């Protein structure tokens, strides 16, 4: 073999090695990107930011679901005979479960409302900023 052939093969080898290293770097970057994306999708905030109305609805639904049944004092309709309230209505105090579920319902509703208001505020600020930039 002549030296020109050996030099040509050596040059091709160097190019192939550089190309393989470049592909390996791109693959590592791609795998890191996929890993980060999967980790992001495992976080609840990813889904809440992506679908805020669904998240608020789900939070409200879960709040009412956790709260369970209505307490006797907060029934939707008024009793037929308002003059007489049976003494048993005052004897019963709320159970721990009712108190905890009521508090959870309140907290979830408060958080959902707070989140919705903050997202709406961000949205409006962005829209105002866009309008100002257009003008």
pLDDT at residue 18, rounded to an integer: 92
Inside any domain, residue 81: no
pLDDT at residue 27, rounded to an integer: 86
100 and 61 share one domain: yes
Inside any domain, residue 122: yes
Q: Which two tokens stand for residue 92?
A: 């019963």
Inside any domain, residue 86: no
Q: Which two tokens stand for residue 76?
A: 């939707």
Q: Where are the beta strands (DSSP E) in 1-135?
A: none
Torsion of CA 93, 96, 101, 107, to 10 degrees: 100
| Tens of pLDDT, residues 1-44 | 578 888 889 999 999 999 999 988 988 888 888 888 888 888 88
38 and 9 share one domain: yes
| Tens of pLDDT, residues 42-97 | 888 888 888 888 888 888 887 777 776 555 454 555 556 556 666 665 666 777 88
Inside any domain, residue 76: no
58 and 1 share one domain: no
Give the phi and the psi of residue 26 in degrees, each rounded to 5: -65, -40
Task: Count how many domains the chain has.
Answer: 2
């Amino acid at each position: 073999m002549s030296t020109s052939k050996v030099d040509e093969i050596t040059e091709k080898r160097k190019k192939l090695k550089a190309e393989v290293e470049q592909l390996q770097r791109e693959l590592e970057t791609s795998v890191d990107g996929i890993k980060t994306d999967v980790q992001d999708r495992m976080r609840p905030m990813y889904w809440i930011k992506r679908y805020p109305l669904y998240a608020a609805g789900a939070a409200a639904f879960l709040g009412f679901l956790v709260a369970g049944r209505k307490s006797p004092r907060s029934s939707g309709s008024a009793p037929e005979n308002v003059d007489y309230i049976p003494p048993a209505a005052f004897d019963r105090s709320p159970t721990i479960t009712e108190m905890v579920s009521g508090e959870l319902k309140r907290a979830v509703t408060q958080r959902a409302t707070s989140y919705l208001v903050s997202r709406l505020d961000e949205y409006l600020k962005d829209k105002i900023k866009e309008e100002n930039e257009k003008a």
